[in-house]
């Protein structure tokens, strides 16, 4: 472990030991790593005898409901609560926690800790522990456990395993390395059950979700000699198939499966006049830089941003920008 990382973890542990009342929050539209990290941080703090409330402003996908304590995540601020410390996990920047929660945190928490693995656009936090080389925030929480000499039990192992599993694309993306596999091997030894977790996370979709995917795949187009693939999801597709925006998480992975593709892009109409653009690259092209141009962010190989405009215009404008970017 680098001296810089060891120093951040020491600072973090000292702040945890000195305080009693914590809140932990994660980003809007939480994914597996966000949920795993919120639950993991709660389990760690409770093992240390602390009081903890956990928050995610948006509902999380139903495939994560099986995780221990998932039902204890609050969507709304507990207005009467008082905290000494707010810990934000997996939030690229402070605003990613959502408008309501960011205002709440600014009001109630005098001390803020950031634990994250995204490329930061605006660093924040009284303690700002960011490891862009970590596969996931859950991997960082594993390091925290080791520094605390806290052996993860089955519940903690399961939530951390789930975050690492989902953020590495089931151990396929370039952030999968020997250390990640060593960590998950320990977590499995402590009680995380890979087949049980994979069944919940990947094989528990609804019929509506599969129908929605079929519609989205019907909009696939290739550009720049098939180096770029795009697809879109408009509002009417949701009403057609009785599915929700949440159902479309993970669809972009189907796009990147084509051999010639360097960048996959999914355009999702989130409300009239705003388009969420998800991007995945196979590593050589830095899509976080593209996302940052439009106020978004993420990682080198997985990033997103939101652009106002009609789905049709945003899609054609953005494809033009990406073609110029890769040439």
Q: Contact between 33 and Mn ion (CB under 5 A)?
A: yes
Residue 33 contact, options ligand 5GP, Mn ion, none, Cβ 5-8 Å cut-off depending on partner type: Mn ion
Residues in the chain: 327
Task: Return the range that interacts with Mn ion (CB under 5 A); candidates 166-174, 262-270, 272-280, 303-311.
Answer: 166-174
Contact status: 93 vs Mn ion (CB under 5 A): no
139's contact among Mn ion, ligand 5GP, none, with CB below 5 to 8 A by partner kind, is none
Helix (H) or strand (E) holding 116: strand 111-116
Residue from 63, 93, 143, 167 binding Mn ion (CB under 5 A): 167
Nearer to Mn ion by C-beta: 173 or 318? 173
**Could you tell which of ligand 5GP, Mn ion, none binds residue 299, using a CB distance below 5 to 8 A set by kind?**
ligand 5GP
Q: Which residues contact 35 (CB under 8 A, 6 or more apart)?
A: 26, 56, 60, 64, 67, 70, 73, 159, 162, 163
Q: Report strand pairing: 221-223 vs 85-89.
A: unpaired
Among 192, 167, 194, CA closest to 253 = 167
Q: Using CB under 6 A as the criterion, which residues of the chain lie in contact with ligand 5GP when the complex forms?
A: 27, 92-93, 96, 118, 121, 278, 296-299, 302-305
Tokens read off for 178: 């020997």
Alpha helices in the chain (DSSP H): 3-18, 32-47, 99-108, 137-147, 154-167, 178-189, 194-202, 207-217, 235-241, 252-255, 287-293, 311-326
Least distance CB 274 / ligand 5GP (angstroms): 12
Whole-number minimum distance, CB 293 to ligand 5GP, in Å? 12
Which partner from the list Mn ion, ligand 5GP, none does 77 bind, CB cut-off 5 to 8 Å by kind?
A: none
Partner that binds at residue 304, options ligand 5GP, Mn ion, none, CB closer than 5 to 8 Å by kind: ligand 5GP
Rule CB under 5 A: which of 223-282 touch Mn ion? none
Strands 221-223 and 127-130: unpaired
**Beta strand 21-26 pairing with 127-130:** unpaired
Would you tell me how many other CB atoms lie within 10 Å of the CB of residue 141?
26
Are residues 261 and 226 in contact, defined by beta-carbon separation less than 8 angstroms? yes
Residue 26's binding partner out of Mn ion, ligand 5GP, none, with CB under 5 to 8 Å set by partner kind: none
**Is 131 among the residues that bind Mn ion (CB under 5 A)?**
no
Give the nearest distance from C-beta 238 to ligand 5GP in angstroms.
17
What residue ranges bind Mn ion (CB under 5 A)? Answer: 33, 90, 136-137, 167
């Amino acid at each position: 472990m680098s001296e810089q990382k060891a120093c951040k973890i020491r600072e973090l542990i000292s702040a945890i030991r000195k305080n009693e009342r914590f809140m932990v929050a994660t980003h809007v539209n939480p994914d597996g790593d966000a949920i795993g990290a919120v639950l993991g941080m709660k389990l760690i703090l409770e093992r240390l005898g602390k009081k903890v409330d956990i928050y995610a402003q948006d509902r999380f996908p139903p495939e994560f409901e099986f995780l221990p304590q998932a039902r204890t995540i609050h969507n709304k601020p507990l207005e009467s609560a008082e905290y000494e410390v707010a810990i934000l996990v997996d939030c690229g920047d402070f605003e990613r926690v959502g408008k309501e929660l960011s205002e709440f945190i600014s009001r109630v928490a005098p001390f803020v800790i950031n634990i994250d693995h995204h490329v930061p656009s605006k660093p924040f936090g009284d303690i700002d522990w960011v490891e862009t080389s970590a596969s996931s925030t859950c991997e960082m929480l594993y390091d925290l456990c080791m520094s605390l000499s806290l052996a993860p039990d089955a519940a903690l192992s399961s939530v951390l395993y789930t975050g690492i599993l989902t953020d590495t694309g089931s151990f396929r993306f370039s952030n999968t390395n020997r250390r990640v596999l060593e960590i998950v091997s320990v977590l499995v030894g402590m009680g995380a059950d890979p087949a049980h977790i994979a069944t919940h996370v990947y094989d528990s979709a609804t019929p509506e979700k599969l129908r929605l995917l079929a519609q989205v795949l019907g909009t696939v187009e290739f550009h720049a000699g098939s180096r770029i693939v795009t697809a879109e999801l408009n509002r009417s597709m949701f009403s057609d198939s009785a599915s929700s925006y949440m159902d479309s998480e993970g669809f972009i992975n189907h796009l990147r499966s084509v051999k010639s593709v360097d960048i996959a892009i999914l355009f999702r109409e989130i409300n009239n006049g705003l388009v969420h653009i998800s991007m995945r690259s196979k590593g050589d092209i830095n899509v976080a830089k593209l996302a940052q141009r439009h106020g978004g962010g993420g990682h080198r190989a997985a990033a997103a941003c939101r652009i106002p405009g009609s789905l049709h215009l945003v899609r054609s404008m953005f494809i033009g920008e990406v073609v110029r970017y890769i040439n």
